[in-house]
Amino acid sequence: MSKRTLPVSAPVIFLLLVFLLGPAAILQGNNPLLWMLFVLIVIGLGAWFFTRSVLSGITIRRILPDHATVGQTFIIGYEISRPARWLPAFDVTIHERGPDFKAAIDSNRSCPAWILHVGPGQVVHGEAMALPVRRGRLSLVAMESRTGFPLGIVPRRRVLPLEQDVLVYPEVHRLRSDLVRAMAGVGAMGRQGADRHGTGLDYYGTRPIRTGDGMRDIAWKISARRNDLIAIERSRPSSPRLRVVLDLNRSTQDLQVSDDESVTARDLEERAISLAASVIRDAAGRGYEVGLIVHGLRVPVYQVRGGLRHVSRMLASLAELDLDQDRRSDTSLPERERAGLVMIHPDRVRTQLARRDAWHLTGRQLEDLIEKVEDEQLDETIVEETAA
């Protein structure tokens, strides 16, 4: 049998005491009852004055991160200052307000910011945790500060309007370790031959010997014919290259989804977007050069290159995709691009949209492509990532 705590409301209890003692003290003229009523009234007036002074004398500044990710908790920072010279602030809770903030956040795994004490002339920092459940722009229009100190009998709230937003990236999953490696491949399609000299193993040309060259760098046969020492110039190694193409040519209502499926057409599109983001993040984490093309919507074509800023721009474009826009038929691909190609479709594969050696994945396959990690391994991975 579960034990449940009865809800206790300080304002309700305070009002009940006032209404119970008030008539008895006034009608009977009993001095102890009058004194008790007087004490309650003084406590109520003092609490009202203090809570009003606490919230009216603080300023709050919101500090947002550069971006957030679906399924990952992000921190909303606050800078609370109190210019007053003598009266501190206690027990201040800060909640966020927005047009769809509650719908876009998992309330069970999120919590507001709570500040215990802000002294006169002090600046205190607080943090709130939020777990987004959908991608896109998360709009924050106001901050609501609350306090019930002291005793909580006269709670008060104050709304501070401040419009800001944070971009929420699609959910990124940990894919199977061999998946992206197989997509990028090796050889002509996955690796691009470098046209610049470097320290690789492939032959690039010859040059006169320089200080610092080793014995193995000398081309002995050419040196013997020219009667001079000639060194071998080697090519610069290049990273594997991968082109990700997200197929959104078909509108949501045209996708093939049977009635007995547990997912909707919009869910399949979101899974396809999440799968594209996961492939991009995994490939970039392995040092691959990645590019992105979105068919069906007006999204800029991202060339195959590396770098964190390049990956962030691609993920931002995926986050801002509007699936309610009109679709346009588009099957264009870069010609003679030396990179591995993966096509991601929401519902079913359409092989006619790409070259023969392309990989094809669908939103229905997302759960099968996620790496299955046991509980113990998952705990060890979390500890290692936290330490790093």
The reported pLDDT for the residue numbered 190 is 45
Backbone angles phi and psi of 105, in degrees to 5: -120, 140
pLDDT given at position 353: 66
Q: What is the CATH number of domain 56-169?
A: 2.60.40.10
The whole-number pLDDT of residue 315 equals: 96
Confidence of residue 348 (pLDDT cuts 50, 70, 90): confident
Kindly list the domain boundaries of the chain, sorted by start residue. 56-169, 194-235, 240-387
CB-based burial, 15-41: b 16+ in 10 Å, e otherwise: eeeeeebeeebeeeeeeebbebbeebe
Angstrom CA distances, 374 to 3, 82, 365, stand at 34, 49, 20
Contact 170, 244 (CB under 8 A): no
Residue 385's pLDDT band, with cuts at 50, 70 and 90, is: low
Tell me, what's the pLDDT at 174?
Answer: 92
- Write out pLDDT tens, residues 99-115: 888 889 998 899 999 99
Q: For residues 240-278, b (16+ Cβ closer than 10 Å) or e, as one string? A: bbbbbbbbbbbebeebebeeeeeeebeebbbbbbbbbbb
Domain 240-387 architecture: 3-Layer(aba) Sandwich (3.40)
Q: What is the pLDDT of residues 200-222, one digit of tens each?
A: 556 667 888 888 777 778 888 88
Instruction: Return the residue matching tokens 């802000």.
Output: 118
How far apart CA 310 and CA 173 sit, in angstroms, is 19
Beta-bridge partner residues of 113: 94
Q: pLDDT grade, residue 382 (50/70/90)?
A: very low
Q: Output the pLDDT for position 139.
A: 93
> Which pLDDT tens digit goes with each residue over 130-189?
999 999 999 999 999 988 877 777 788 889 999 999 999 999 999 988 888 888 764 444
Tell me the C-alpha distance between 24 and 37, whole Å.
10
Q: How far is CA 370 from CA 20, 194, 220, 273, 366, in A?
A: 63, 33, 52, 14, 6
